[in-house]
Amino acid sequence: MATTSSRTLRLLSLLQNHRYWPGGELAGRLEVSVRTLRRDIDRLRELGYPVLAHRGVAGGYQLEAGAALPPLLLDDEEAVALQAATQESVAGVAESSLRALAKLTQVMPARLRHRIEALRTATDVPTWRAASAALADPVALVAIALACRDSERLRFGYSAAGGVRSDRQVEPLRLVPLGRRWYLVAYDLDRSDWRSFRLDRMDQPHGTGSRFRVRELPGGDAVAFVLSGIDQVKSLLDVEVLIAAPAEAVRAGLGRWATVEQISPGRCRMTMHAESLDWPAMALGSLGAPFEVVRPPELIGLLRDWARLFRTAVGQNSPTTTSPA
């Protein structure tokens, strides 16, 4: 289901053509209840958009005819949320949000347009993502995106995995959202080498005002660079699964998050590394193909727990059994 932010963007996009929308039809397009639609309409009105409501059995909504849309009064966090909404993995939402964002950007103050554009151009998104990457502090995210875009050296405090804190000065290159985390790919001036940094471990990132000439990243792929660094972390879980589907179809579904090896025309082996088993479980479920878990055994336990939840959701609290004769 779409988030409130992305749904509001889509609602505004539908209303902006000034046509009349019956309430039931509009709720259906947004895949929400009529009550939720009313709340979303109220939210638009609070933002200053003149939405007219027509009561009765055939009631509906439309933007007031001839009314000029007011400027958007957004803070930095809301501006970042609008851009993040365009990267959601929910089918149909990202495209609608992107269209709405393009319209909204035209009436945003220059300061907010500056920040959204910086975040968009500084971010490399992998082919497939298992979960929202919304844990980064939006103020820090914007500061880093601006430094990436403007080729400005960045300073911040950084806490390593072991808890050791150090002060860093880097030449930032790209932002990469993976799973529930954001990473910065940058050239570390103190260590004279490329590094990836988790944004949730950064403290007060800020530009220094010093510009630099952009260096060439080894391999040229920021997402692959971050993934290679994550693969070296010992705490990651190794996942191996046999899938009853062609390797090409599995690669298309999982992207570069996984390594897929063809075993036979309709069977392949998938391996991946993950911080949490929720990610591969959701990925496997999204493929819609039978599979067998080779390792780890914890993934089998997680799938059993999920299976019980799903059976409960469809009214089957336990597997059907046959009484002995």
Q: Strand 181-188 relative to strand 165-178: parallel, antiparallel, unpaired?
A: antiparallel
pLDDT, position 131: 42
pLDDT value at residue 92: 38
Residues of the chain with pLDDT under 70: 1-6, 17-18, 57, 65-138, 162, 179-180, 230-236, 256-257, 316-325
pLDDT of residue 303: 93
Report DSSP state, residue 56. S
Dump pLDDT digits (tens) for 297-310.
Answer: 999 999 999 998 88
Which residues have a Cβ under 8 Å from the Cβ of 141 and sit 6 or more positions away?
A: 80, 119, 175, 182, 199
Is residue 75 classed as helix, strand or coil in its secondary structure? coil
Q: Is 246 helix (H, G, I), strand (E, B) or coil?
A: coil
Give pTM, 2 decimals: 0.45
* pLDDT value, residue 108: 57
Beta bridge mates, 63: 51
Give residue 228's pLDDT.
Answer: 80
Residues near 14 by beta carbon (within 8 Å), at least 6 away in sequence: 21, 26, 29, 30
Q: Of 50, 52, 59, which is closest to residue 22 (Cα–Cα)?
A: 59
Residues in the chain: 325
| Per-residue b or e along 130-147, where b marks 16 or more CB atoms closer than 10 Å to that residue's CB | bbebbebbbebbbbbbbb
